[in-house]
């Protein structure tokens, strides 16, 4: 048992490794336009060199894409860019499936941990055994044996929770850095004003002068990268909400104004990593967390009514 806990600690610690065109693209009275009268959106932005990020922030999202040996053989796969290929290999060559793999905070660390553990016993000791009447290539065959590695096993659940906690700590450390850093300096997305101070100041400028609200800085992380992604979409004349592409900025401006698309589409999952809510609970997206909070609020209101707080709730409805 002590050996298993030591291996678990090793696996976890490895993670450380407008309403008109002018209000969308043009300047306001406090944001000077250039000498040509252009609107500034398509002028290349001068992104400064990134501040030194807290330890392990880059490891979490970039260094995870390194070649790691398969759980059961010597073949190597990159755990991010080659993840689908890796999972297919596990199924077709080893008949092994990792349950809810999208809920694993660091697949690299997860694979390294279980590769070491598999050296101590057969797969049946760690995996659920399943029988199917088909081979991996789809041919009929009676009672073919497959294995599933999942959090049904307490050791696997403990590993996943440890990796999730470690990632959340890294994210909160990064957010703290972004909240307190006073050296932020960046060109505005929509005008030629130089935004300096904190990232919260920059978000406030976007909301106040350009009616572009990304939310409170306390709810965001990796703000620099988020703003870069938004800048690239606008530069490519793509709507931020529906991702439709236009041939001129005036058409894009009118589209975003009329359709009220001057915001980020919550259905675009590639933006999830910029919102803290997506890191709060393992395996849950912002949608699921929002549903949970909604039900908690309903239960709270019902509790008040049952406890004699009907007067409060009726006033609230009005």
Are 124 and 142 members of one domain?
A: yes
Least confident of 34-38, 52-56, 135-139, 208-212: 34-38
Same-domain check for residues 245 and 303: no
Is position 263 within any domain? yes
Last residue of a domain, one of 132, 165, 198: 165
Query: Is 20 within a domain?
Result: no
pLDDT of residue 128: 94
**Residue 100 · residue 279 · CB < 8 Å:** no
Determine, yes or no, domain membership for 93: yes
Give the residue among 173, 198, 195 at the shortest CA–CA distance from 183: 198
Domain range for 227 is 181-279
Within a domain: 3:
no
> At 271, is the pLDDT very low, low, confident or very high (cuts 50, 70, 90)?
confident
32 or 256: which leads in pLDDT: 256
Residue pLDDT, tens place only, 138-180: 899 999 999 999 999 999 999 999 999 988 888 899 999 999 9
Residue 239 forms part of a structural domain: yes
Same-domain status, 156 and 188: no
Between residues 113 and 306, the one the model is more confident about: 113
286 vs 244, more confident? 244
Q: Are residues 293 and 206 in the same domain?
A: no
Task: Say yes or no: 137 and 192 in one domain.
Answer: no
Residue 72 lies in a domain: yes
Whether 73 and 131 map to the same domain: the answer is yes
Let me know how long the chain is. 318
User: Lowest mean pLDDT: which of 2-11, 222-231, 279-288?
Assistant: 2-11
Summarised one tens digit per residue, pLDDT across range 95-141 is 999 999 988 988 999 999 999 999 999 999 999 999 999 999 889 99
Q: If you average pLDDT over residues 286-291, what whole number do you get?
A: 54
Q: What's residue 270's pLDDT? A: 84
- What local confidence, expressed as pLDDT, does residue 83 receive? 93
187 and 145 in a common domain: no
Report the chain's mean pLDDT, rounded to a whole number.
78
pLDDT tens figures, 20-32: 444 444 443 444 3
Quick check: 77 and 86 in contact, CB under 8 A?
Answer: yes
- Which one has a higher pLDDT value, 49 or 62? 62
**Maximum average pLDDT range among 101-110, 267-276, 288-297:** 101-110
Q: What mean pLDDT is predicted for residues 253-263? A: 87
Residues 243 and 222 in one domain: yes
* Structural domain count of the chain: 3
State if pTM tops 0.85: no
Question: How would DSSP label each residue in 236-254?
Answer: TTB-TTT--B-SSHHHHHH
Do residue 122 and residue 209 come from a single domain? no
Long-range contacts of 258-262 (CB under 8 A, 24+ apart): 262/18, 262/24, 262/211, 262/212
The pLDDT of residue 230? 92
> Rounded distance, CA 114 to CA 7, Å?
9
* Token representation of residue 256: 């975003």
Q: Which of 111, 140, 165 is the last residue of a domain?
A: 165
With a cut of 90, say whether residue 70 has pLDDT above it: yes
**Interval 180-236: pLDDT, tens:** 999 999 999 888 899 999 999 999 999 999 888 888 888 999 999 999 999 999 999
> Is residue 202 a part of any domain in this protein?
yes
pLDDT at 80: 84
Q: Which residue has the higher pLDDT, 37 or 128?
A: 128
Q: How far apart are CA 238 and CA 134, in angstroms?
A: 45
**Within-domain flag for 134:** yes
Same domain, 66 and 161: yes
One domain, residues 199 and 110: no
pLDDT band at 48 (very low <50, low <70, confident <90, very high): low
Average pLDDT over residues 250-257: 89
72, 103: one domain: yes
What's the pLDDT at 25? 44
**What is the reported pLDDT for 306?**
62
Q: What tokens were used for 195? A: 């935004």
The set of residues, in sequence order, having a beta carbon less than 8 Å from that of 193 and lying 6+ positions away, is 27, 30, 31, 32, 187, 205
Top-confidence residue, 60 or 236:
236
Q: Which residues pair with 130 in a beta bridge?
A: 146
């Amino acid at each position: 048992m002590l050996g298993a806990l030591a291996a678990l600690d090793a696996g976890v610690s490895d993670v450380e490794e407008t309403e008109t065109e002018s209000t969308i693209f043009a300047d306001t009275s406090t944001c000077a336009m250039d000498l040509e009268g252009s609107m500034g959106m398509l002028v290349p932005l001068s992104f400064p060199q990134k501040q030194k990020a807290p330890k392990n922030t880059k490891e979490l999202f970039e260094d995870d894409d390194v070649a790691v040996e398969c759980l059961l053989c010597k073949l190597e796969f990159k755990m991010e860019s080659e993840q689908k290929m890796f999972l297919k290999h596990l199924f077709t060559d080893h008949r092994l499936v990792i349950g809810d793999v999208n809920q694993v905070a660091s697949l690299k660390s997860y694979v390294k941990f279980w590769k070491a553990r598999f050296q101590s016993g057969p797969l049946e000791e760690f995996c659920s055994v399943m029988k199917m009447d088909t081979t991996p290539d789809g041919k009929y065959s009676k009672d073919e044996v497959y294995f599933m590695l999942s959090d049904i096993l307490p050791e696997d659940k403990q590993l996943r929770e440890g990796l999730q906690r470690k990632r959340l700590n890294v994210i909160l450390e990064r957010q703290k850095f972004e909240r307190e850093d006073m050296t932020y300096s960046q060109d505005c997305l929509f005008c030629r004003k130089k935004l300096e101070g904190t990232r919260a100041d920059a978000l406030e400028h976007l909301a106040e002068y350009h009616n572009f609200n990304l939310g409170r800085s306390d709810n965001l992380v990796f703000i620099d990268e988020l703003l870069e992604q938004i800048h690239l979409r606008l530069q490519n004349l793509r709507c931020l909400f529906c991702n439709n592409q236009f041939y001129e900025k005036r058409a894009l401006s009118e589209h975003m104004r009329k359709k009220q698309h001057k915001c980020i589409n919550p259905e675009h999952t590639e933006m999830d990593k910029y919102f803290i809510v997506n890191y709060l609970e393992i395996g849950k997206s912002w949608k699921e967390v929002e549903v949970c909070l909604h039900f908690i609020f309903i239960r709270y209101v019902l509790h008040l009514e049952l406890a004699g707080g009907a007067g409060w709730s009726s006033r609230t409805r009005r």
